[in-house]
Structure 1
Amino acid sequence: MTYVGVTPQGVGLLLPPPAAARLVCGEDAPADGFTGVFPLEKSLGRLTGLKIYDRNRKLCFDGIMDEQKESVGGGWKLTLSARSRAALLLDNEAVPQTYCMPSLKTVFERHVKPYGFSGFIGDSRAFHGTYTVTKGMSEWQAAAGFCTRFLKAAPRIADGTFDASGAKPQGELLFDNAGGIGYTSVSVENLYCSAFSEVLAKSGSAGTYSPAAQSAEAVSLGIRRRRCLAQGDADGLIRAAEKKAYRVTADCPGEIAAALFTAARVRDPMLGTVEKLYVSQTEYRLNADGESTRFTLRR
């Protein structure tokens, strides 16, 4: 990978190869995160941005700097911590307001576009009803809340675009040491502690809670873990819990690029074939042992 620091004046400075680096991209975090340690021969001054290019010279990270530290002792080192530009939407509070006949175009122009994003993808028609942005919501919560409620899609920032289309990347990743993406280790985990057996939802003027959704899989496993929901999607909460209760992790040597939500499967002589997975998180790591990429896959 190639690393370019950006000064407050917008000047790009090529950084030396890092001694250690970690880049995490995940579906559960709107902003990607980076930390790295770079050897120094001279101070580079203040850096407020960071761009990272992969081995094919494609921009894979464009972010804002959270922390910059220079230290000496065992060498002169520069330590950087940055998040992708989606962090701007997390860090800024939305102005409370109520939309009548809300649309993705209006929400994008008021809550996303002012922070430098080029456009949006998704259903742009106006919807009946109202949508309220309350005090304390971030710009991301305001925009994402509209998308999940009206578009039934979780948004994502991709290549500077606010993507609320719900579309998945084409193709499939095959993790297979005999004829696919090679790995040094693979694990299959059942996280029973994350599963919910039942969700109760508040209903009626009396404010009583009654059964609204149940996980047949959790019940069949003898799991008893109930949640009470004052408002929201009970079925969606069950589905999210079922998804988090199962994961496959593959550690692969080298730098491997893959988009989130890409379909995947694992083929291993001992674990067999695990299908109908998708990429939930990627973690690129560089340290004294070399480069590696960790994939977290979910059903």
Structure 2
Amino acid sequence: MECWIETWDGRKERLPQALEWTFSYGVGTPCDSFTLQCAWGESRSALWGEGVTFWAEEGGERLFTGRLDEVETSWDARGGLLTLCGRGMAALLLDNETVGAQYQAAVWEDIRRGYVEPYGIRCTGGESLRAVEGFTVENGASAWTAVETFVHRCNGVEPWFDRQGVLHLDGWRSGTERTLSGKIPLISAVWREKRYGVLSEVLVRDRMGTVSQTVRNESFVARGGRCRQVLTLPGTRGYEAMRYSGSYQIGESAREQEVLTLRLAGTGAAWVGDRLNLDMLRPRLTGCWRVRACETGVGREGGFTELKLIREE
């Protein structure tokens, strides 16, 4: 694996060979992240502290693209160690707050120009996004919140960044379909189902309490669920915005109601967005699942991949 950094003024440097590394990928927050440890001598590169961008490749395939947050060099009797930490490209949107704005009818060009383009983010799938009436960005909200809310209101999907650092706005269309059978090097499997935190009903109202809307999670209510949330929106948004807000809260609460976590030997067994067909005998696991988050790397016990899967509907 080759790892590189680029400085604020465009200089590039290949890092020493990694001893241990971990790349974590997900959707939304927390965003993708990486840690990397390399051996170094006693001559510290002047570029390490100037780096802003990090990427890693193996066999011509990009494994990670992100922003460099921290560089540490240490030395003891065993020698020198270089440690780098950072996050994916979503960090640029998460770290920058916005000035409040109200749109009578916001289109993707408005969002791209105001909250994506200033940070040099590449994106794909924006042509499928329709206009959103009465769209509001709160003062102090992150650029990521503006993008995420707009995309979700357009077509109900979550924006996410791939390993090339490209922002996807059209869901999981680029995900690969894979089959995991009993032949895979499975280390462990954990299947968790929860009820706590799943919302059965959301009452959304305006600040004055004059307009309200109730949204119910009918399937959870039918199974005995009782968890109500009251949500107050600033200003007057109208019934459409209220219903969206209630549905969004219910969807987020139920997203990880059923989670399967698989830990496999080896790196890069699957990636975020991949659709997995399970056909395993021990333990007996079947069905279609989507990779919601994954972590892969090399540690003292060798290579590993940990997949967090949600049931594919």
TM-score band w.r.t. shorter chain: 0.7 to 0.9
Whichever residue aligns with residue 178 of structure 2, its letter is L
> Conserved in 1, the CA contact under 8 Å of 2:176 and 2:273?
no
Deviations 1:233-266 (A, max 9, x none): 3333333322212111111111115342221132
Partner of 2:75: 72
Q: With the length of structure 1 as denominator, give the TM-score of the two structures.
A: 0.87
List 4+ stretches of structure 1 deviating above 4 A: 203-211
Whole-Å separation in 2 of the counterparts to 1:264 and 1:129: 37
Shift of 1:152: 2.9
Equivalent pairs counted in the alignment come to: 296
Residues 107-118 of structure 1 aligned to structure 2 (within 5 Å) = 107-118=111-122
Whole-Å separation in 2 of the counterparts to 1:278 and 1:103: 29
Deviations 1:104-145 (A, max 9, x none): 122102210121123442236762633222211111112222
Partner of 1:163: 168
Q: 1:170 to 1:288 in 2, by over 3 A?
A: closer
Q: 1:198 to 1:271 in 2, by over 3 A?
A: farther
Which of 235, 244, 248 aligns to 1:236? It is: 248
SS at match of 1:285: strand
- More off after superposition, 84-93 vs 200-209: 200-209
Whichever residue aligns with residue 227 of structure 1, its letter is Q
Q: 1:207 to 1:100 in 2, by over 3 A?
A: closer
Whole-Å separation in 1 of the counterparts to 2:302 and 2:84: 19
Shift of 1:160: 4.2
Stretches of structure 1 lacking an aligned partner (at least 5 in a row): none
Q: Does 1:57 align with 2:69?
A: no
Q: Does 1:275 align with 2:270?
A: no
Partner of 2:191: 188
Residues 3-14 of structure 1 aligned to structure 2 (within 5 Å) = 3-14=3-14
Cα RMSD (Å) of the superposition? Answer: 2.7
Which of 95, 102, 109 aligns to 2:99? It is: 95
Query: Per residue, is there more strand in 1 or in 2?
Result: 2
Whole-Å separation in 1 of the counterparts to 2:200 and 2:255: 13
Stretches of structure 2 lacking an aligned partner (at least 5 in a row): 233-241
- More off after superposition, 186-195 vs 124-133: 124-133
Whole-Å separation in 1 of the counterparts to 2:155 and 2:137: 16
Q: 1:238 to 1:131 in 2, by over 3 A?
A: closer
Partner of 1:134: 138
Partner of 2:215: 212
Percent of pairs with identical residues: 23
Q: 1:11 to 1:196 in 2, by over 3 A?
A: same
Whole-Å separation in 2 of the counterparts to 1:61 and 1:130: 37
Whichever residue aligns with residue 272 of structure 1, its letter is R
